[in-house]
Amino acid sequence: MASSDKDSPTPEDQGVHTAARREKLEKIRQLGIDPWGGRFDDRMLIRELRAQADQVRYQLENGDQLELPELDEDPEKRINLRQWRSDQGPGEEIGPRVRAAGRILLQRDKGKLRFVDIEDWSGRIQLFIGQRQVGDEAFELAGLFDLGDIIGVEGRLGRTNTGELTIFAEQLFFLTKSLEPPPAKHQGLVDPDLRQRMRYVDLAYNPGVRERFMDRTRIIQSARNTLAERGFAEIEGPTLHAIAGGAAAKPFITHHNTLDMELYLRIALELHLKRLLVGGMERVYEMGRVYRNEGISPRHNPEFTMLEAYQAFGNYESMMDLTEGVIVDAIAAIGGQAKMPWGEGEIDFSTPFERASYHELFQQHTGVDPHDLGAVSTLAKSLGLETADRHPDVIKNEVFEEKVEDQLSGPIFVIDYPASICPLTKRKADNPEIAERFELFIEGMEIANAYTELNDPDLQEELFRTQLDGLPEDDSMARMDNDFIRALQHGMPPAGGLGIGIDRMVMLLTNSSSIRDIILFPLLRPES
């Protein structure tokens, strides 16, 4: 075996292994075989051929076919099939012919027999390669296999004497030579930075990684299906914006040479989607990348995936229903239950999710009346927060972020935020100081944000200007989007709008502690 039970190989050892692989590469060429393979049609996924296991039979000399005995999943508890076959009388095992391809993860040399384990993205299976069965040339080729090589096989599906489902090879196909050895068998690739930097190795050799990213794909597809079932149309908005709007975040800036103008990678999807509501597209959403020139942490990456959806004639309560539907359907798509594992505990996603007002939670977790501005300011100062020349609601919200959010295990909809910090949100009819907004928190993380959308163009313009007062020019919100105001003047229907952070949702549903574990290629510092 190329893998080792010892410590990870030194660079010198790695060089020796690589040189040995290149020698085998040349020997493969000398056999007249292309070490980089080619088209390999009609293969079955390993999951599919494993589903044919019940077609393996023992055929007696008189032609009668016997089903194999029930086999325990634990190899140590399985009956000895050699003895069982002997007890039935003379005959032979028969099974369907199959073609498969995959990467070599294990191999054992038994003289004129070789046992090889291959894996594709659906599963793993053992190959039996006998010199008599495949011929001298193919068996010589098998002697040049290394862990990590990609091969194809054609043969009969059957079981070994220990009961292991196996492809008994009749033909071998060399498809790709791996010139670098895989990580050590028992230690694998464990350094988090290397795992993210060499994601291809992480996916190929670390158990569970590929399945986690496949779950991410299933979650995203499920969200699309949920929205389609509810009549939403998927659209593609621009990623380059003339104005960085829709959120308070620092944008990435680029330059368009032909137009000689600065452009911004989008920090939100919102404002273009709402323009579509004006145009009569009543239910729209976009699933796309968003870019914010901010910090990196286990919960933040400068580029991330957002889902934003807008529903004409809805409100923030409509969006609560939609949010629950997206999450519950996603759990089902990955085979989960209402209670999902999280760390050493679990999260109960039973619906309806809890709902509590912003001010109730502030009081509960700080012991301070949120309407007592002096007491809030005193608390803020004790937390080291800046209070001078700042709006009281901004101070209050920073206290909320500092003292409350981390305590929200959830799932919980935090509803009815101070209107002054929600410039794109409709006010409550009976209390204009409160905005019809919610944020969904789970395990201290904001997963979703939603509004009853403000569609009054005059009030929207006024709120924009109020918010922009005093902001520095380089702040993403310090520019008025006049075209958006013009769009509202043409009439946007009452609507609910929703944003879901896909990466954080995937973190929670796959029990992943870091956002970098569920982003295939997170941003990293250059290698030194």
Residue 41 is predicted with a pLDDT of 94
Evaluated on CA atoms 343, 346, 352, 358, the torsion sign reads: negative
Residue 81, Cβ neighbours under 10 Å: how many? Answer: 20
Per-residue pLDDT, averaged over 359-387, amounts to 95
Which pLDDT band, with edges at 50, 70 and 90, does 463 fall under?
confident
Looking at residue 135, what DSSP letter applies? -
Output the DSSP codes for 227-281. Answer: HHHTTPEE----SEESS--SSS-PPPEEEETTTTEEEEE-S-SHHHHHHHHHTT-
Q: CB under 8 Å to 191, separation ≥6 — which residues? A: none
pTM given for the model: 0.90
Q: Report residue 338 as tokens.
A: 């209402």
Q: In whole angstroms, how far apart are CA 516 and each of 194, 205, 507?
A: 12, 18, 9
- Return the CATH fold of 11-56+95-186: OB fold (Dihydrolipoamide Acetyltransferase, E2P) (2.40.50)
pLDDT digits (tens, 9 = 90+) for 324-353: 999 999 999 999 999 999 999 999 999 999
Strand pairing category for 303-312 and 283-291: antiparallel
Residue 458 is predicted with a pLDDT of 93
Q: CB under 8 Å to 490, separation ≥6 — which residues? A: 278
Residue 528 is predicted with a pLDDT of 75
Q: Is 383 within 8 Å of 403 (Cβ atoms)?
A: yes
Residue 436 is predicted with a pLDDT of 96
Residue 195: closest CA among 520, 525, 527, 526: 520
Looking at residue 90, what DSSP letter applies? S
Which pLDDT band, with edges at 50, 70 and 90, does 471 fall under?
low
Place of tokens 């794109």: 424
Report d(CA 233, CA 428) in Å as an integer. 29
Residue 4 is predicted with a pLDDT of 37
Residue 337, Cβ neighbours under 10 Å: how many? Answer: 12
In CATH terms, 209-330+443-517 corresponds, of 3.40.605.10, 2.40.10.120, 3.30.930.10, 3.40.50.150, to: 3.30.930.10
Residue 151: closest CA among 125, 133, 132: 125
Residue 188 is predicted with a pLDDT of 66
Q: Is 148 within 8 Å of 127 (Cβ atoms)?
A: no
In this predicted structure, which of 42-56, 66-80, 252-266, 416-430 has the lowest mean pLDDT?
Answer: 66-80
Spell out the domain ranges in the chain: 11-56+95-186, 209-330+443-517
Report d(CA 243, CA 262) in Å as an integer. 9
Residue 317: closest CA among 452, 493, 439: 452
| H or E stretch covering 503 | helix 502-509
Looking at residue 427, what DSSP letter applies? E
Report d(CA 457, CA 463) in Å as an integer. 10
